[in-house]
A and B are shown apart, each in its own frame.
Chain A
C-alpha cells in the first residue's frame, strides 16, 4: 500500500471551497483564527473579499453565519470540531438549527487523530451533539474525493449541515472519476454475508484493510461506508442486519451517541441483531502521534478485524 496517496480531509475542504467559489458567487467563508489549520486559508487567498475572520470567538461566528445566511448567502463557518460543535453548541442549536438556517459548519481536527495537542482538542463528541439537533445534516467524509464531493453536496442542500474533517492524512481510496456522493445514502464498498462492518470517516479505509485480513481468515465481511450519519441510510443498515446477522460499527468518535448509536437505533427498530461498537470508549484522549493513538484506542484494521471475527463467531 506504499503507493497509496494520502491527504487530510481538511485539505480537501479548503481546496473544495476555493474551487467552488467561482461557481457559487454567494459562497462566503468564516473562520475563527484557524484558517491556516482548517485550510479555509486556501479560499481566503483566492477570494479575500468573501472571507471573514471572526477571531477567537466561535459563538459569535455561528451567529454571524446565521445572520448572513438569512440574507441569501451560503455561509461556511469553520473551526476545530471541539469549538464548532462543542463550545458553540447552543448557538448552533438555537441560531442555526431551530430556524433551519442555511449554514454549513466545516469542522476540522475531529477525533483523537488531532494527535499531540491532546484531550482538550480531541473532539469525540461532535457527531453525538450535532445529530441531536432536529433538521441538522451530519456528514463525515472518508477521503479526499468524498470530502470534496460532500462540500458541494452541502452547498446544494438547503438547510444546516455539519461537515466533519480530519487533520491526519487519510488514504484516498475513492476514484474521483467515478465517485458520486448522494446525501443520506451509504455505500457498500465490499460485499460479504458473514459480518457487516459499518464505518465512517477516517475509519473507512481501516475497515477495508480489516476486510482483507478477515478474507484471509475465511470470513467474508461486508463493508459499508456511512458518510452521512444523519439522515442515516437505514435501508442499507437493516439490509446488512438481515443478510449478515451481526454488525460492527467503527468511528473515530465516542461510542456514545455517534455512528454506533445511530446504527443501534436503526436495527433495534427494524431488525435487532448484535452490534459491536468500535470507537473511543467513554474516555478522553491524550497526547501522542495520531497513528499511535489510533492503534492505542483500537481504531485500526487489526482491532476491527479481531472484533469482527469475535462478533462473527458469537453469531454461530
Chain B
C-alpha cells in the first residue's frame, strides 16, 4: 500500500476510534473494546474496499457489511458517519431515547446499516442469505460479515459456516475479530473457540490470517480473499481489544464499559496525539 493511502486510512481509523470513545462516553454505556479492535478493518472496508454510495445507501448493487458482532456498533456508526451516511452529531446521541443510533445496529433507522444485529451468531446467517441472493441474481456485489472470536461459540455460526461452504459462497468474506477476550475473560479460558482457523478450514472455507492493525497486511489479506473462487473466505484477524487507548488495550474490563470523564479525556488525548502525528502537525 502506498504511503498516501496508508496515511488516509490511518487517519480514518483514528477518527473512528475517537468517535467510538465519544459515543460510548456520551451514552455512558456501550462496547468500546471490541469496537476499537475492528477500527482499522472498518476504515479499510469503507474507505478502500467496499463499493458503496452513502447518498444511496439502499443501492441494490452495493457491497454489504453485516456487523454480526453487533455490540461493536459504535465502531460501525463512527465509520458510517465518517463516510458520510449521516451527520457526525448523531454519535453524541448514541443510545439515548429517540436517537437514530440504537445500542445495536438497526437497519430500519440507520442509513448504511445493512442488517439489524446484536444477538450473536445471527448476522453471519443473514450475510449468507445476501450472498446466496447475489449468486441467484447474478450480481457481483460482495458481502462482508464481522464476527467476534467469542461469537463463534454460538452454534448458529457453524450452521452458517456449513451452509456457506455448501453453496460455494465465494462472494462472502467473514472477518473474525480474534482479540482473545470475551465478557467473562480470555476466550481460551471461558469456552475456547480455538483453533478458529482450523475450524473454518475444516468447514470448507479458505482461511487467511491477518494483522488487524497493519494496513499492508490488511490489504494483502483482502487481495487474497478477492481471488478465491468456489468457497467462502474467513479472514481471522489478530487484533488488540481496546487498540490505541493505552488503558483499554488487552483489558477485558473494557468490553462493555464506558469511560468516565477523566478516562474520556485521557483516551481522547492519546488519540488526538496519534491523529496529530498522522497529519504531520
Contact = CB atoms under 8 A, between A and B. Distances in A.
B160 interface: yes
A153 interface: no
A190 interface: no
B236 interface: no
Contact of A60 (B60, B133, B163): B163
Contacts of B115: 66-67, 70, 95, 99
B20 interface: no
Interface stretch (A51-59, A219-227, A243-251): A51-59
A34 to B, nearest CB: 15
Interface in A42-82: 49-50, 52, 54-55, 57, 59-73, 75
A98 interface: yes
The bracket for how many chain A residues form the interface is 20 to 34
B65 to A, nearest CB: 12
A232 interface: no
Q: Is chain A's interface secondary structure helix, strand, loop, or mixed overall?
A: helix
A50 B135 CA distance: 11
Interface residues of B, number: 34
B126 A63 contact: yes
Nearest to B141: A71
Interface stretch (B10-18, B40-48, B106-114, B264-272): B106-114
Contacts of A54: 163
Given A90-B119, A91-B156, A94-B119, A71 B130 contact: yes
A264 interface: no
A91 B125 contact: yes
Contact of A95 (B106, B125, B132): B125
B128 interface: yes
A241 B165 CA distance: 56
A288 B208 CA distance: 53
B134 interface: yes
B119 A57 contact: no
B108 A100 contact: yes
Interface string B132-157: 11101100000000000000000110
A62 B123 CA distance: 11
A62 to B, nearest CB: 7
B89 to A, nearest CB: 25
A64 B60 CA distance: 17
Contacts of A50: 136
B67 interface: no
A230 B128 CA distance: 30
A68 B115 CA distance: 11
Contacts of B114: 70
Nearest to A100: B108
Given A55-B163, A72-B60, A95-B116, A66 B134 contact: no
B27 interface: no
B167 interface: yes
A96 B242 CA distance: 32
Contacts of A35: none
B129 A67 contact: yes
A63 B132 contact: no
B226 to A, nearest CB: 21
Contacts of A73: 133, 136
B177 to A, nearest CB: 19
A60 B156 contact: yes
B100 interface: no
Interface in B82-124: 106-108, 114-116, 118-119, 121-124
B127 interface: yes
Interface in B37-90: 60, 66
B155 A59 contact: yes
B162 interface: yes
B125 A60 contact: yes
A63 B116 contact: no
A52 B168 CA distance: 13
Interface in A84-114: 90-91, 94-95, 98-100
Contact of B129 (A59, A64, A99): A64
B159 interface: yes
13 contacts: A55-B159, A55-B163, A55-B166, A57-B162, A60-B163, A64-B163, A67-B66, A67-B129, A69-B129, A70-B114, A70-B126, A94-B119, A99-B115
Interface of B: 60, 66, 106-108, 114-116, 118-119, 121-134, 136-137, 155-156, 159-160, 162-163, 166-167
Shortest Cβ-Cβ A-B pairs, 10 listed: A67-B129, A63-B125, A60-B159, A67-B126, A57-B159, A64-B129, A99-B116, A68-B129, A71-B133, A67-B130
